[in-house]
Structure 1
Amino acid sequence: MKAETSSINRTSLFYVLKDIQLHTQSMGWQQEILVDNEHTLLILTAGTGRLHLEETEFHMRQGRSYHITPGSTARIHSETDGMGFYLLTYELWGMEGTPSGQALPVRNPQFAPYQHQAEWSCLPFSQCIEYLEGIYRQRDTYSELESFDIHVRFQAFMLFLYRQNQNAAHHTNMRQAVEKSIQHLQEHYRNNWTVEQLAELANVARWQYTRIFKKITTKYPLDYLNGVRIDRAKQLLLATDDRLLDIAQFVGFNNEYYFNRRFKQTVGISPGQYRRQRHQEKMRVFAPFLEDFLVALGITPVVQCAHYRWGRQDYLGLHDVPVIDIEQEDIDELARHKPDLIMMDRGFRRWMSDDGLGRLAPTYEFPHASEDWRMTLRKSADLLGRKDRVQDVISQYEYKASEARRLLKRSVHAQTVACLRISALGISLYSGPYHGYTGPILYGDLGLTPHPLVQQLSRDARNAILSRKYLKLLDVDHLFITFDKRHSSWEGEERCLLDAPEWRSLPAVRSGCVYEVDFLTWMNYGVISHGKKIEDVLRVLT
């Protein structure tokens, strides 16, 4: 009798639990977690909180677990009712089969499912808690058998998590594929597209592609494509004097008639009427957080932006101009001011939908980063018919900066300077001379010397998270700080850092060389705000 044989898949995973902790924290508690070579799982059992992981913020709630991969930094912050949570650290090992039939252990194997996900479902939650309570009860055992039981329970717990997230992961992968195709569509909108081609690009069935696409964008694929083309045409109508036929063909429409019809259906007026609105004598302009450029060109905005936590840009002196709070996203309130033109940068999309704004008035979105303030100023002047003022504004600023640089060279010499943005979530260190709100002014125009951490941590980014570990290394001579109240749960929470021993031990703090500056003046790219930064620096360093 011949025996039938089969082999088990030689690719296996093993989860080695290193530690389990149970925390109960009161309102306002916060902590930074630095993960080296181990994985970390955080499972909320009570209350609510926020987890800031790399560039993403999660609102933590019961029934979810949060995965922090090796090499990551995370910040946990409890909210009004406090929070309770389990914190588990573990190592992930794999056993990979080789051609010779051997099995070799591999630490942190690449084939581990769902390890890239940051948020996992753990429902039913009662079953999740049963696993965790069983593991926690035996955490201090010295018995080899009970220790083995802990690891078996932990393997079962991870299997439970994977089973709950298998379907979600498949859906997430399809959604990510569709999102990637949407990004491709935004960049290649001039091409002729069919839904079949887009679905093939995403490797998703056509019916699923259309359903997911509409859920993401609220539009069907070809309607969305035409919307992208119309938006681009609106930019060109405001920024150029090109013929309507040339603009139509450039953005992907085959003929001017169809372009005109789709444009009027979408915008409510013809392309020609849209273009003519920018040539009005007394234009009513809404430029959210770009008011600096309007004032520099001698134009008073019809309404100014504010934020209920940040306040308004008082440094511009727009005391008699109506205010709209961007957190309210009140399109109807803005409509009452009847703007003729809306100017915005891409960052404003998180506050108000450009679709909603586009229904009110011709809307121009700057295609470049507004930190290039000279380009933004020139384009603003072009749109508003103030090109004759641009060179005077730039020349006045450059004279002011060169005079300040001369004075600072005598008074500061090689002393180091840094700028921090402090909030309830943590500390951001602002970058070197090429990026960000402050670096190009402090280190570029004024020639001040950045502390070595500025270059080490921020690199090419606009800012970098400054952990408590690195804060201790910030032996800078002069420190400019500003407070962001947006994430504070109570008045003054963002200032709690000033009581920390790491802060009080800084050389700049001990020597009285810490200078608090206005938030909206320093966290702004406008030419007037840059001039105010120079004045602030001169006031304390000369």
Structure 2
Amino acid sequence: MEYAPVHTQLVHNILNDLWLKLQSAELIRADRMEQQLIESHVLFVAKNGEGRLTIDYRDYRLRRDAVHFAHPGQTIGVFAESEQGVELYAVRFAVQDDAKTAAGFPLKGEVPIYPETQAFMLCDLISACLCSDHSLERFRGQSAFLELMYVLLKNIRLLPERDPRTALDRTKAYIETHYKENLTIEQLARMADISPKYFVDLFKKTYGKSCIDYLTEVRINNAKRLMTRSDIRVRDLAHQVGYSDEFYFSRKFKKEVGVSPSVYMKNRRRKIVAYTPAILGQLLALQIMPYAAPLHPKWTHYYYRRYRADIPLHLSAYRFNRDWESNMEALVRARPDIIVCDKDSLHMSEREELEKIAQVFFIPGKGLHWREQLKLTARLLEAEHKAECWLHSYDQKIKSVRDHLNRELKDDKILAMSIYKNHYYVSPVRGMMDVLCHDLRLNVVPGLLPGEARQAISAEQLADLDADRIMLNICQEPESLREWQSLQSSAFWRDLKAVRRNRVHLISSDPWREYSAYACERMVDDFLKQLHGDRPDEFRI
């Protein structure tokens, strides 16, 4: 095969300047893999099924004619698009730079390859070698990994102008910049140089939504952005996003957003900042959509997926608020009216900088129940009636769910626990315990030390707790995930009553580790889903 110049340069960088060492090869079979932080380079190779791979903020379709690379410090997630789920290999490897280069590993994101490459067959071999008890076979796994990298580099394909995927990406980008125009399927299909019918089918298969739905989404999202900047008239707003009929635009907007354009604009007149995820959860319960909030596909997955188009300014949501200086810069430029934040989670210098930007409402975290936090937030923002309505609705829901669970679970003992690195914790966070113990009044196994939260215990002590069900939260980072894999292979874990009866419920940090009104309601919904799966007729509120 004759290499294009870019191929030659990539091969030169890989072979002459970098050392690559295989670490592991895992075949992921799942309908969903929660977004997790990675500490090594990862190569993803699709094997079976249809789905999507998320690397940080980018979303990719899994397919045989492309592989994907993620780098240390990024976050990754997998979502199936069929009932059969997806199968893909995650090949983790280490990279050591030669002193002559500072470029690092050059491949990232999606890398197109020729579809006949069948890289997954080499992944099968690598996985089998690493599982062998013989050191020579495990050594062969390293050789097979280098062969895989060679095959991928040799089969990287430059996308020609007539490649359907390239043309499709080009039309999608065209929609994003020309949404104000009167676009038609025929026009976009001509741009992609394919038939209208094939264009419609290929667009839906590639991006998970129809071309018309995507055009509507782009127009509505741009309308939302315009609404936050001025008191623009609905007629002018409709014209600016591609609708000649303001009444049709209003109907379309209300169908997609849930409220009319005028109501949406009225609710967005104040630039309110939710400085932490828990504050965002309180504001949403009050039906207040903030101008800025921390959003990320991993750290605040639910909020990012559902509200990223409604919140114009995305603050860093990195754990422990390590990026607060960059948040300050963004807020200075945004010039908000009000900043609402958790008083107990701020650095002193961070608090001082916030107070220079706008009026700041500090909500106490420790020692104040989420209900009181909600009422205080509502009072500061003049939304007391909405808080009362939300709490009334929540209490009605809780009573109905509690009556149902009492009949179904009876006296089942439930253990709420988490795994963080190589430690096991009982009663890990107060939001989880508030919902399970106080609201739903379930028979939750107490910790070994009464009255103390987040108690570390040994794995062997789990048997003494004798739980009928286990609600398990696993921190989505490499060391914790390795500990979880090790725990599953242990004899004492497999012998636990809840494990034998298939009553271990894996719960996500989002919402179970967030302390807010909105998160608590989502915990209730998630608990019901854990019991009934996707069978809504099992229980109706």
Normalised by the size of structure 1, how large is the TM-score?
A: 0.44
Normalised by the size of structure 2, how large is the TM-score?
A: 0.44
